[in-house]
């Protein structure tokens, strides 16, 4: 993706191809996770519907993703959107407007559902890497999933 012009910071996890037609208009900060099936739309093709003596209309706008961001599976980000630092975008969301630093958004269109301090406090209760030393990946996943089921039924 860097070869296509996407600017990607350090320590990023990009779990599938970034889908876009103008990759050079996308920049991603440090420590960003982009899950599978994420689409970045850097243009508005509806301008082709307008025709006059000057021809069709075009709109292109960059997309900027800050640092320490998680973008869930199947998210669509529209032209001109900026996602701030320490943000989470829930799976399946459509991001139509910029997301301020420290905001957790989800939905269609994406709307704020939490702020960073509240989200971060919730993560503290999750199992930590240090708790799983010596376990295989399968053992870690099974252990976490089992604990989640117990918590849900309690």
CATH of the domain at 104: 2.160.10.10
| One domain for residues 144 and 84 | no
Tokens in use for 3? 């070869």
Percent of the chain at pLDDT above 90? 59
77: helix, coil or strand? strand
Query: What is the reported pTM?
Result: 0.85
Across 109-138, average pLDDT: 86
The rounded distance, in Å, linking the Cα atoms of 96 and 31 is: 23
Told to judge if 120 belongs to the known catalytic residues of this protein, a careful annotator would answer no
Task: Give the confidence band of 39 by pLDDT, cuts at 50, 70, 90.
Answer: very high
| One domain for residues 134 and 97 | no
| One domain for residues 27 and 93 | yes
Give the pLDDT confidence of 45-76 residue by residue, as tens digits: 888 788 888 888 888 999 999 999 999 999 99
The rounded distance, in Å, linking the Cα atoms of 117 and 111 is: 17
Q: Which of 37-46, 98-107, 136-145 is predicted least confidently?
A: 136-145
β-bridge mates for residue 14, sequence order: 34
35: helix, coil or strand? coil
Q: Which of 27, 31, 43, 114 is catalytic?
A: 43
| One domain for residues 85 and 105 | yes
| One domain for residues 111 and 57 | yes
Q: Which of 35-39, 98-102, 141-145 is predicted least confidently?
A: 141-145
Per the CB < 8 A criterion, the answer to whether 93 and 108 are in contact is yes
| One domain for residues 81 and 145 | no
Count: domains in the chain: 2
| One domain for residues 47 and 65 | yes
pLDDT at 149: 59
65: helix, coil or strand? strand
| One domain for residues 79 and 147 | no
| One domain for residues 130 and 83 | no
| One domain for residues 152 and 97 | no
pLDDT at 100: 98
| One domain for residues 90 and 134 | no
Range of the domain at 146: 124-154
pLDDT at 70: 98
Across 110-132, average pLDDT: 87
| One domain for residues 92 and 130 | no
């Amino acid at each position: 993706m860097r070869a296509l012009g996407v600017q990607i910071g350090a320590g990023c996890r990009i779990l599938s191809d970034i889908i876009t037609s103008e990759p050079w208009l996308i920049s991603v900060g440090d420590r960003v996770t982009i899950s599978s099936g994420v689409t970045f739309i850097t243009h508005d093709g509806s301008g082709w519907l307008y025709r006059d003596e000057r021809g069709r209309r075009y709109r292109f706008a960059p997309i900027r993703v800050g640092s320490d961001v998680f973008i869930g599976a199947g998210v669509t980000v529209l032209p001109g959107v900026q996602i701030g630092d320490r943000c989470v975008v829930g799976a399946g969301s459509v991001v139509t407007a910029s997301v301020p630093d420290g905001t957790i958004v989800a939905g269609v269109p994406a709307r704020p559902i939490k702020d960073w301090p509240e989200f971060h406090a919730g993560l503290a209760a999750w199992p930590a890497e240090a708790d799983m030393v010596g376990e295989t990946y399968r053992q870690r996943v099974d252990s976490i999933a089992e604990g989640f089921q117990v918590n849900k039924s309690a």
